[in-house]
A and B are shown apart, each in its own frame.
Chain A
Amino acid sequence: MRAQATGGGAAMTAILTEETRTETFRRDVADGGVIETSDWMPEEYRRRLIKFIEMHANSEIMGALPEGDWIGRAPSLKRKLALSAKIQDEVGHAQMLYRLVEDLGKPRPQIFADLTSGKSKFHNVFHYPTRSWADVGIIGWLVDGAAIISQSALLRSSYGPYTRVMKRICWEEAFHLKQGEDVCLTLAGGSALQREMLQDALTRWWEPLMMFHGPPTPPEQDGDLAWRIKTKPNDALRQEFLDRYVPQIWELGLTIPDPALKKDVQTGRWRYTEPDWSRLIAVVTGSGPASAQRLGFRRLTYEEGAWLRAVTMNA
């Protein structure tokens, strides 16, 4: 209201008020405060929330595609049911998350236009092809395993509606992990050919997995951390991932394609060959091995579904 008053003094007061408000907000959020959709929030916070949750949602819906290729080729009815159920969950996750983005002010047509034009992003791991049934196992076990680590950290995010949706998502992810692990264990306990197939999939997926949590951004330079949209730095998430999964992978007699991978007994931290981060940027900006195909498919299904949206949304 004060901004409407005339004179430079009043305008200055308005600016200061906005700054003070932002500062109070920042402190509140840093102290563990939780924000709801109807609360006042600084524009930067809203913009970052939209971008972060939108990328998460995009990843859920794009993540349905690599596995979708294998529904028709699943080796048994039970596997087919489980894989269909997992994919149904992922699309459901996207639906829940897109609703959050809409409530924050970005309309769905805009979200989809940005996704299909390549303007907005989705996770690196969904830019790769799935070459064998073992890929389905590795994705369920390790890609979802990596995702569970970042998603569990989001349970303490500063945005209340996000944490509530994340509770539901994490609960469903536990099943994704188990069905993937079961596929991997079946292959690991199977014939030489099956074990080879599993090893080949692990070898191809290791680099994307190491890149999954993002480059080691110093926490003080990570705006999403400062606003507590996310709660743990990229590198901490990667360490957690390695801690939980490397011993389990080794236990199965598999080889991880990084000779430098080793836990430092003194620091308790994993050492590994630093991934080529420029490749991560190339992959997520549309130059991944399956980026064009996946986006092309998403564009096609979006166009093909236009008549249905017209019928149901304008009813």
Chain B
Amino acid sequence: MRTSEVTRELAHLSDEAVVALMARSHDVALAELYDRFGRVAWGLALRVLRDEALAEDAVQEAFLTAWRTASRFVPERGSARNWLLTLVHRRAVDLVRREERRRAEPLEAAAEPAGAKGADDDALLRLERERVQGALAQLPDQQREALELAYYGGFSQSELAERLGQPLGTIKSRMFSGLARLHELLREPAPEREPWRTRPSTS
């Protein structure tokens, strides 16, 4: 395995504790973070960029940004996972916007990079992917389209408005409603029905 003995020592720590260690320049913490999220980061960068060399750049730069800025990570603003994946995604989007190549391609055609369904596909990642794709499939078409083009395609809201021939306000509201609905759909069901648990007043 690529995971070193030292790295294993951090295996039981929370993602946030790993980042706290990274802030103290413990490079084993960076290795641990990569072992936890490198694969998702790679899949995401590849999906947005559709080019292995660019995806490598995006992942490398995102992890190095994490390494440099770990001391500024604030746990109460969100999880370490979200923080890291945001760095990866933002880097990928910045790179793809400099590339004109993907603009002409229909999104569906490039959904799956070759060899994606390898024999060693990770079962947990696959389950999570199915869960997310299942939730996406439940969104109204226009909301799903807006989220996919923006998040996986790297299109800005103005580009989307132009591409879809819709006012910017419409695009904004599709993105907002789509994300809010997705969040609801993905919220984990209560593990048990506690007797005191009344209906949460979300919305």
* A and B are interacting partners: no
Q: Chain A interface (Cβ within 8 Å of chain B)?
A: none
